[in-house]
Structure 1
Amino acid sequence: MFYYTDAVIEQLAIHRVGNKLQDEFYVLSEKTVDLADGVLSQLLMHYFLNPFTKLNEVYRLFHTTDTLSLNEIFHFSNAFFTGELGFLEFSQQISKHLFEVSNHPNIKGGELYVVHLRDVQLEGEVHEAIGIFKSENKEAYLKISPVQGAFDLDYEQEAININKLDKGCLIINTDADEGYKVLVIDQTNRQQEAVYWKDDFLGVRVRNDAFNQTGNFLKVYKKFVNEELDEAFELQRADKIDLLNRSMDYFKHKETFKQDEFAEEVLGNPQAAGLFNTYRQQFEEEFDAPFGDQFAISSQAVKKVQATYKSVLKLDKNFHVYVHGKREFIEKGYDDEKGMNYYILYFNEEH
């Protein structure tokens, strides 16, 4: 988890970065922002850092060639952290790099805030950090002030909502050899052009820790059950729901995932277990994110994925049956007279 209760903004620089494809330009500040106003610092702290307190995923900077120094963000950040590059020059280089990758027609220009932070806390440890934030969307705000026994009404047309950070990242000064620990937010672009922030600008990939191993495994397993098992077995929808329920029950009550144990307790079929191992290996190779024979289970990841494990039988538009119990309490049949399918549900009490 990320905390910023004791964090301090050491330095802040603001630049303007336009869309290169739209023949816009960048404007670089020649000095940092004066942060003597304590109220302003607190507002900025809320604007920049509060969104990150809800994140669980931690990323790493990387390069497709596995040579970290070729990642521009890593190169400049490392130079700053080691004292080879001053803060203002560092922030200018970051802005130039963002401009170079802002070449999709839907990318909006905006202000880029580069911040030097100290005493941020991630995963129980206190660190120095770099914050890079971009504001793209402006809003109109009304301002009311008392004037001689009445009230005056004014407005600010191009203002920033401090509760809506558009894009941001925090580069935590730890694990430099592995690409640092990086937190990322992109609240605005969720279509194809969105890849420019994470992929083209930052160059990050998710850290393969317990949170991501747990979440990814459950997602891969769900896709396997819903899309792949039908090729080898004739499964009813209730059978698939049972397999998903058993996997969720396993992850809720175990502290450690063990491959052989999962295959026996959840899949319960050697052929199905073999098919799933082949299926998950394809994911591991494609995303370079191995699960291994065992890994620690993250309860936070289980809670996050649980909402997507919908155990529902949707019967035409008449009924939705939520299945939480055992498969043997549900029977499916066909009524020749009515020409319709039916389910029989066995239970002890009606609530």
Structure 2
Amino acid sequence: MITFFEASLAELSIHRIGNKAQDEFYVLSEASMHIQDELLKNLLIQYFLSPYEKVNEIFRFTHPNNDLNLNEVYHFIAQVFEDGAKFHENSVQLAKYLYDISSHPKIKAGELYVAYFENVQIEGELHDAIGIFKSETKETYLKVYPEQAGFKLSYEEEAININKLDKGCLIFNTEKEEGFKVAVIDQTNRSAEAVYWKDEFLKLKVRNDNYNQTSNVMGVYKNFVTEKLDQEYDISKADKIDLLNKSMKYFKEKESFDLDEFSNEVIGNKEGIESFKNFKKSYEEEFDTAIADTFDISGAAVKKQAKVFKSVLKLDKNFHIYIHGNKELIEKGFDDDKSMNYYKVYFKEEE
């Protein structure tokens, strides 16, 4: 969890980055800024940091050769954390590097902000942090102000909405040897050309902690139930929902995950258990992501995954049946006279 109620903005450098493929250039500031206006400083903190309050996934810098020093952003950021006097000169290097990799024709030009923050809290600890942000989306704002006996109306074009941060990353001065703790946001251009921010510019990998272990195994199980089971068994949608509900109950009630315990309690079928474990192994190999057989369950990850675990049985366009409990109280059949499927639902009283 990231909070910023104690944070302060110590230094800020602003550059403009064009699109190299479009023969646009970059414009570099000669010096950084030390903002004295408290209102402006608070607005910038809100613009830069408030989107991270909802971020749970933490990343680390990486490099294909497993040498962190070959990661350009890591290298420049590490220099600033070691010597704050090098803040602006390394912000310039970050701007030049971002320009060099902005080669896709659909990448938008925009301002690059490099900010140094003090006392940003992550996972209960206060750290200095460096933020790298890019604003690409501009909007038009109306301005109304009093004049004589009435009001005057004007507008401002190419303005920035402080409630909409386009791209950003927040790098915390902790766990340097592992690649720092990094939180990332990318709200624009979520298509193929957008990978340049996280994958090409930052070169990040997900930190393999309890949050990600929980999220990954829940996602693997959901895909196993919704996609894989149809290939091996004749299973109804009601049975699938029951399996998903059982898994959600397990993750909400248990403090730790154990693969064998989970398989026996939730799946409870020898062939199904073997199929799930093989499916999990295939996922780990395909995505080069190890999921431990035991780990502490992250409540934040369970809460997030609960939003995509569907317990709704949709019948044509006429009915939706929400299944939350005992699936033995719902039966499926076929009416020969009407040539239609039906469900029979048992209950004690209406609410």
Q: Does the alignment reach a TM-score above 0.5?
A: yes
- Specify the SS of the correspondent of 2:30: coil
CA distance in 1, matches of 2:329, 2:240: 14
Question: Segments of 4+ in structure 1 off by > 4 A?
Answer: none
Aligned position for 1:181: 181
- Structure 1 range deviating more: 120-129 or 136-145: 136-145
Matches within 5 A, 1:191-230: 191-230=191-230
Aligned position for 1:349: 349
Aligned position for 2:337: 337
Gaps of 5+ in 2: none
Deviations 1:186-226 (A, max 9, x none): 11111111111110111111111111111111111010111
Aligned position for 1:299: 299
CA distance in 1, matches of 2:124, 2:95: 31
- Specify the SS of the correspondent of 2:128: strand
Aligned position for 1:257: 257
Are positions 1:87 and 2:87 aligned together? yes
- Aligned residues of 1:57 and 1:206 also touching (Cα < 8 A): yes
CA distance in 1, matches of 2:173, 2:285: 29
- Aligned residues of 1:79 and 1:85 also touching (Cα < 8 A): no
* C-alpha RMSD of matched pairs (Å): 1.3
Percent identity between the aligned chains? 56
Aligned position for 1:241: 241
CA distance in 2, matches of 1:2, 1:114: 19
Deviations 1:9-34 (A, max 9, x none): 11100000011111111111011124
Are positions 1:37 and 2:37 aligned together? yes
- Specify the SS of the correspondent of 1:235: coil
Deviations 1:11-68 (A, max 9, x none): 1000000111111111110111240111111111111111111111111111122111
Following TM superposition, by how much is the alpha carbon of 1:84 offset from its aligned partner in structure 2, in angstroms?
A: 8.6
Are positions 1:51 and 2:51 aligned together? yes
CA distance in 2, matches of 1:84, 1:325: 58
Following TM superposition, by how much is the alpha carbon of 1:285 offset from its aligned partner in structure 2, in angstroms?
A: 2.6
Cα distance 1:322–1:150, how it changes in 2: closer, same or farther (>3 A)? same
CA distance in 2, matches of 1:167, 1:71: 19
- Structure 1 range deviating more: 136-145 or 300-309: 136-145
Aligned position for 2:122: 122
Matches within 5 A, 1:256-335: 256-335=256-335
Using structure 1 for the length normalisation, give the TM-score: 0.97
- Aligned residues of 2:213 and 2:292 also touching (Cα < 8 A): no
- Specify the SS of the correspondent of 2:143: strand
- Specify the SS of the correspondent of 1:26: coil
Following TM superposition, by how much is the alpha carbon of 1:85 offset from its aligned partner in structure 2, in angstroms?
A: 7.1
Aligned position for 2:61: 61
CA distance in 2, matches of 1:205, 1:133: 19
- Aligned residues of 1:112 and 1:134 also touching (Cα < 8 A): yes
Aligned residues: 351
CA distance in 1, matches of 2:40, 2:287: 42
Deviations 1:215-271 (A, max 9, x none): 111111010111111222211111111111100110011010111110110010121
- Specify the SS of the correspondent of 1:283: helix
Are positions 1:108 and 2:72 aligned together? no
Gaps of 5+ in 1: none
- Specify the SS of the correspondent of 1:86: helix
- Specify the SS of the correspondent of 1:144: strand
Aligned position for 1:5: 5
- Aligned residues of 1:263 and 1:270 also touching (Cα < 8 A): no
CA distance in 2, matches of 1:85, 1:272: 60
CA distance in 2, matches of 1:223, 1:264: 18
CA distance in 1, matches of 2:66, 2:286: 16
CA distance in 2, matches of 1:171, 1:183: 7
Cα distance 1:147–1:46, how it changes in 2: closer, same or farther (>3 A)? same
Following TM superposition, by how much is the alpha carbon of 1:146 offset from its aligned partner in structure 2, in angstroms?
A: 2.7
CA distance in 2, matches of 1:271, 1:226: 17
Using structure 2 for the length normalisation, give the TM-score: 0.97
